[in-house]
Amino acid sequence: MNFEARRQSILNQMAENSLLILYSGTPIHISADAYHHFEANKHFYYLTGLRRENMILVLRKSENGNQSMLYIEKSDPNAERWTGKMVTVEEAKSISGIDDVRFTASFQAQLDYLLGSSTLSTCYFDCYRHQQSDLPDYNLAKAQQFAAEHPGITVRNLWPMAAKLRMQKDEDEVALTEHAIDITDKALQRVLTTLEPGMKEYQAQANFEHMVHYLGAEGPSFPTIAGSGKNGCMLHYETNRDTCQDGTLLLLDLGVRYQGYCSDITRTYPVSGKFSERQRKVYEIVLKANKEVAAQAKPGMTTKELNEICKKVLTQGCMELGLIDKEEDIGKYYMHGVSHHLGLDVHDVTVEGVKLAPGSIITDEPGLYIDEWEIGIRIEDDLLITEDGCRVLSAAIIKEPDEIEAFMANR
Task: Provide the annotated active-site residues.
Answer: 33, 236, 253, 264, 336, 340, 347, 365, 369, 378, 380
Q: Is residue 264 near Mn ion by the rule CB under 5 A?
A: yes
Provide, rounded to whole angstroms, the least separation between the CB of residue 363 and Mn ion: 4
From CA 391, how far away is CA 394, in angstroms rounded? 9
- Comparing CB distances to Mn ion, the nearer of 126 and 264 is 264
Alpha helices, DSSP H, located in 237-371: 277-296, 303-320
Stretch that binds Mn ion, among 52-60, 113-121, 200-208, 357-365 (CB under 5 A): 357-365
Q: How many helices (H) and strands (E) does the chain have?
A: 12, 19
Provide, rounded to whole angstroms, the least separation between the CB of residue 253 and Mn ion: 7
From CA 368, how far away is CA 375, in angstroms rounded? 8
- Comparing CB distances to Mn ion, the nearer of 272 and 363 is 363
- Comparing CB distances to Mn ion, the nearer of 278 and 304 is 304
Stretch that binds Mn ion, among 42-50, 147-155, 320-328, 360-368 (CB under 5 A): 360-368
Provide, rounded to whole angstroms, the least separation between the CB of residue 401 and Mn ion: 21
Stretch that binds Mn ion, among 1-9, 205-213, 362-370, 388-396 (CB under 5 A): 362-370
Provide, rounded to whole angstroms, the least separation between the CB of residue 382 and Mn ion: 9
Provide, rounded to whole angstroms, the least separation between the CB of residue 112 and Mn ion: 45
Max CA pair span of the chain: 76
Residue 104 carries which DSSP code?
Answer: G
SS3 at position 403? helix
- Point out the residue whose Cβ comes nearest to Mn ion: 264
Q: Is residue 345 near Mn ion by the rule CB under 5 A?
A: no
From CA 390, how far away is CA 317, in angstroms rounded? 25
Stretch that binds Mn ion, among 1-9, 175-183, 293-301, 361-369 (CB under 5 A): 361-369
Provide, rounded to whole angstroms, the least separation between the CB of residue 264 and Mn ion: 4
Provide, rounded to whole angstroms, the least separation between the CB of residue 390 and Mn ion: 16
Q: First CA to last CA across the chain, in angstroms? A: 40
- Comparing CB distances to Mn ion, the nearer of 139 and 363 is 363
- Comparing CB distances to Mn ion, the nearer of 259 and 266 is 266
From CA 204, how far away is CA 226, in angstroms rounded? 7
- E strand or H helix at 108: helix 107-117
Do you know the residue count of the chain?
411
- Comparing CB distances to Mn ion, the nearer of 68 and 363 is 363
SS3 at position 22? strand
The closest of 127, 122, 210 to 163, measured between CA atoms, is 127
**Residue 2 falls in which region: left (phi positive, over 0), alpha (psi -120 to 50) or beta:** beta
Q: Is residue 394 near Mn ion by the rule CB under 5 A?
A: no
**Residue 29 falls in which region: left (phi positive, over 0), alpha (psi -120 to 50) or beta:** beta
Provide, rounded to whole angstroms, the least separation between the CB of residue 164 and Mn ion: 21
- Comparing CB distances to Mn ion, the nearer of 87 and 217 is 217
Stretch that binds Mn ion, among 126-134, 202-210, 262-270, 278-286 (CB under 5 A): 262-270
Stretch that binds Mn ion, among 154-162, 256-264, 316-324, 369-377 (CB under 5 A): 256-264
The full DSSP string for 235-275 is: TT-----SB--TT-EEEEEE-EEETTEE--EEEEEETTSS-
- Comparing CB distances to Mn ion, the nearer of 188 and 408 is 188
| Chosen residue from 22, 363, 377, 378 binding Mn ion by CB under 5 A | 363
Q: What's the one-letter identity of residue 327?
A: E
Total chain residues near Mn ion (CB under 5 A): 2
Q: Residue 124: phi, psi to the nearest 5?
A: -100, 140
Give the number of C-alpha atoms closer than 13 A to the C-alpha of residue 232, restricted to the C-beta side.
31
> Under the rule (CB under 5 A), what is the footprint of Mn ion?
264, 363
